Amino acid sequence: MAASKKIFGIVLAGGEGKRLMPLTADRAKPGVPFGGGYRLIDFALSNLINSGLTKIVVLTQYKSHSLDRHISQTWRLSGLLDSYVASVPAQQRLGKRWFSGSADAILQSLNLIRDEMPDIVVVVGADHVYRMDFAQMIQAHIASGLPATVAAIRQPIELSDQFGIIQTDPSNPAKITEFLEKPKTATGLADAPHEVLASMGNYVFNTDALIDAVIRDGEMTDSNHDMGGDIIPDFVSRGQAGVYDLSHNEVPGATDRDRYYWRDVGTIESFYDAHQDLISALPIFNLYNSEWPIYTQQLNSPPAKFVRDAKGNSGTTVESIVSLGCLISGARIERSVLGPWVTIGSSALVQDSVLFDRVHIEPDAVIRRAILDKNVVVAAGAMIGIDHARDRERGFTVTDTGITVVGKGVRVEP
């Protein structure tokens, strides 16, 4: 990172996360637990901190209490070094209204930028799972001479209708000529016709250009005030947007298997699939990269413990993540992720599932292909994920792909 440049980080964390219901019924999407002991926002913040950014604000809005508490308890940087991660709610500086979009969130928070007077502002989303060295993107941004740069990841061309797609100038592949929102057809890359560049929702701006763009956007009555939907297309239309291809990004400790991993976990299916990416012996996303750690709150908890039940059954646990404080007694755990302080009783079966903090599974219960939110209790002999019609009758969410989701604090009877 250029030593002469002052860099400021903004994390957009005000999203409601409707597609993740019921996991977002009582919390903001970036505050949703992930991978055992993490929260979704930990990935964005870890990437920024590991990249050398030391002044970061998190713009929050929707049901942000648990998210704000997590940031205050976990992301405390030394004030002696003039470093901080600060959670900033909607301040209503432009009138008594909430954020109407991600661009409006920045517009209403311009005082934060003006207080620091940075040269460059890095703007990232708070609900993606990935590793990325933003210092390399910032260097590419400076070298381009353009006021805005969009991070992009290569995706198969047949998935174009799922992403914001970036088309580039054949004579200058680093310059964006068109930004298409989930197009039915797209043109493949010159060096890989079967691939396209999809926006990652991460941006680098020259400060004055960002301020000018959000102020102009705020004056438009026909805008959705969205960074990806309005601000970036504005820069593209003026020939002022560049693209940074994630395939040029080298993260220390990355393996060939997880080097360019990125997943938007905005739906129950993608959230579930991202957990499955963690658990194999050679994971698609490797949490054990100590050279680029993912930071989170360090719980004052005992180690996980596995014991025989009263009948002497030892149980088995395979291809699973088991967090601190868990107690497993003669149960079978397969291809699952267990959050802190989960307890599972004798002869219970948990397969292909994600269990949040302090879930309690009583003996002989069966949980298959399910997500259980915090403090769920599954009574002895109860079944989840076996009979989807019955799951729906009990008020549980069941996706089209057969994932059953049980909301926070529910007791599931046989």
pLDDT tens-place values along the chain, 414 residues long? 555 789 999 999 877 778 889 999 888 899 999 999 999 999 999 999 999 998 999 998 888 788 888 888 888 876 667 788 888 887 766 667 767 678 889 998 899 999 999 999 999 998 899 999 999 999 999 999 999 999 999 999 998 888 889 998 878 888 899 998 888 888 888 888 899 999 999 999 999 999 999 999 888 888 888 888 889 999 999 999 999 999 999 999 998 888 889 998 989 999 999 999 999 888 889 999 999 999 998 888 899 999 988 888 888 999 999 999 999 999 999 999 999 999 999 999 999 999 999 999 999 999 999 999 999 999 999 999 999 999 999 999 999 999 999 999 999 998
Q: Tell me whether residue 237 is annotated as binding.
A: no
Pair of tokens at residue 44: 């964005």
- What is the 8-class DSSP label of residue 228? I
Nearest-angstrom CA–CA distance, 40 and 98: 23
pLDDT given at position 249: 94
| Third-level CATH fold of 7-276 | Spore Coat Polysaccharide Biosynthesis Protein SpsA; Chain A (3.90.550)
Residues 6 or more apart in contact with residue 184 via CB below 8 angstroms: 160, 161
* Dihedral angle of Cα 161, 166, 168, 173, to the nearest 10 degrees: -120
Contacts of 312 (CB under 8 A, 6+ apart): none
* Nearest of 292, 205, 283 to residue 242 by alpha carbon: 205
pLDDT for 120 equals 96
Tell me: is residue 182 an annotated ligand-binding position.
Answer: yes
Q: What is the pLDDT of residue 166?
A: 92
Let me know if the fold of 7-276 is the same as that of 305-412: no
Half-sphere exposure of 378 (CA within 13 A, CB side): 35
> Do the bridges between strand 397-398 and strand 404-406 make them parallel or antiparallel, or are there none, so unpaired?
antiparallel
| Residue 145 counted as an annotated binding residue | no
Indicate the class that CATH gives domain 305-412.
mainly beta
Assigned token pair, 190:
């010159």
Domain ranges of the chain: 7-276, 305-412
Instruction: For residue 169, give every residue at least 6 positions away whose Cβ sits within 8 Å of its Cβ, in sequence order, or none.
Output: 175, 176, 177
pLDDT for the residue 80: 62
Say if residue 37 carries a ligand binding annotation.
no
* All residues at 6 or more sequence positions from 148 whose CB lies less than 8 Å from its CB, including other chains: 203, 204, 205, 206, 209, 210, 213, 232, 235, 240, 241, 242
